[in-house]
Structure 1
Amino acid sequence: MRVMLVEPSKVGLKLMARMIEDMGHSVCGFFDGEEALRHMHQDATLDVVMTSFEIPGISGIQLCWEARIIANKGRPIYVIAMSSSNDTTHLVEALDSGADDFIRKPPDGIELEARLRAAERLNQARRELVRWATHDALTSLLNRRAYFNLAEEMIHGGGHLSLLMFDIDHFKSINDTYGHNGGDLILVAIARGLWAHAGRAARVGGEEFAILLPGATESDASETAEQLRRTIEGMSVTLPSGSNPPSPSRSASPSTFRARTWTTG
C-alpha cells in the first residue's frame, strides 16, 4: 500500500517510515499539515493516511476530516490518527473526526503491522462497494447514475464535451428468440467494443449505451460513432448451445447513433 505519514519530528518520521517500508509498503512523509493536505488531494494512489495530532499548519484532526471527505467521494483512504498522549479524549476526538483507527506513539511494530493489514482488508472491501455502486454488474461499464455524475463534473469543468448515445434496435425480438442469456451475451460483446472508452462509457438503460468524449467536437464525435459502428459490425456472438444470434451490427446502423456537443465554461 501507499502510506502518507505526517509527523512533526524528523527522527520520528524517519523511524516510522523505515518501519512501514520494511513491511513492504511505500511511504511519503510530511512534517507540515498543509503540505500533507495538498498532497492528499493530488495523489490518487494513497491508501492510508497516518497523522499525528500535533503537527504544524493545520491540525491532525482537520487532516482526518479532509481525508474522510475524500473517502466519501469514492476514493477509499484508511485514516490512522497518532498521539503520544495517554489522554483517552484524543482517541475519542480522532474517531469522531473521521479516523478509522488510533495508535499511540511510538507505535509497536507488530501492532502497527496488524493495523495496516486491517487497513488493507477494509480498503479492498470499500473499493468493491464503490465499484458495485458505480458500475453495471453485467457489462462492467459505468452505470447510469455514475455516468451522469461524471457528465455533470465534465460540463462544469469547461471546454468542449461531446455525448454519444446509441441503443440496440429490435433488442426485444433478440431476447424473445434467443432468451435473456443470448441478449446478455450481445450486451457484453458490445461493452467490450467500448473498452477503449473505459471510465467514460456507460450502460444507461436496458439496451442503451452512452459515451462521454471530453474535448471532442461534433465532427470528432461523428467519426467516433462511425468507428464504433464498424467495430460492432465486425462482432459475432455464439451462444453456449452453438446457435448464432444475429451479429450486433444489425443493430448498429448509422442512424442508431446520436451525438450532441457542448462548449462549456
Structure 2
Amino acid sequence: MERIEHHASFGGWQDVYRHESSTLGCTMNFAVYLPPQAARAGARLPVLYWLSGLTCTEQNFITKAGAQRHAAEHGIVVVAPDTSPRGEEVPDAEGYDLGKGAGFYVNATESPWAHRYRIYDYVVDELPALVEAHFPVSDARAVSGHSMGGHGALTIALRNPGRYRSVSAFSPIVAPSQVPWGEKAFAAYLGPDREAWKAWDATELVKSAPEKLPLLIDQGADDEFLDLQLRPQLLQAAAEAAGHPLTLRLRPGYDHSYYFIASFIDEHIAHHARALLA
C-alpha cells in the first residue's frame, strides 16, 4: 500500500492510497480522511464509508463535499473508494453508465465483467479489512453515498445486517431494476434474469430486511434525474408496507450536483455520529 496524496485538513489529514486489489485484480485508489483525534495514543475511531456515483473516482467527494470539517468535529474517519476497477486490462463500454466509473456496487456474473467487476466484495470485505489493519479505526462502521453510490450504500447495508450502525444516501437510485440506468447495468453485469436483480435492489431488499436499520435519504426536488432514474417514492412505498423506518427529505430547489451534497453533508455526518459514537 502506497500513500500518493497527503494534505493537512481541519487539524487532520486527507490522504489517498494506492494498492493492489486481490478482489478486482488491478491497482485501486482509495481516500482516507483521518481527523485530529486519530493522532491520540491508542485511538480507535469509527469509520464512515462513502460511495460515489457514476463517472466518479475517489476524488469527487474529498474535493467537493466539504466533509472534512464535520468529520473532524465528530472524530470520524471517512473512507472513499473508487467506483470501479481501473486499468488497461479492465473491460469497458461506450458511454458513462457502464464499465469504468460505473461498477454499480454489485458482483458481476456475466462475461466479460465477472472477473473484475466485484465492487460489492471490494467495498464490503477487502477494503474494510485493509483499513482496519492499517489505520487507527474500530469496527464501528457506517455507509453513505450519492446516486449510484446511494444505491450501493442502501443495498450494502440491507444485505449485511449488523455490519453497519447507520446508513444514508443522497439522490440514490433506489429501484435499479425499474429505471434505465439500473436496467442497462444489471442486464450487462448480472444477465437477463430479473429475479437475480432483486438481490441488488434496495426497493426489493427492504421488503424482507431482517434488520430495521433506519434509512436516511435526501433528494433534491429539482434533480434532473428524479422522475426517470431515481424515483424515491418506490422505496418509500416499499418501506411503508414493510414497516421499515425511512426518513425521505425532498429538498426544494436542489439538483443532483455536489452543491446539494455539500449543503447537507453536515446533517448526514451528524446522523452517523449519533449511531457510531453511542
TM tier, shorter chain? 0.3 to 0.5
Q: Choose between structure 1 and 2 for higher RCO, CA contacts under 8 A separated by at least 6 residues.
A: 2
Compute the TM-score of the two structures, normalised by the length of structure 1: 0.32
Q: Larger radius of gyration, structure 1 or 2?
A: 1
Compute the TM-score of the two structures, normalised by the length of structure 2: 0.31
Structure 1 or 2: larger helix share?
A: 1
Structure 1 or 2: larger strand share?
A: 2
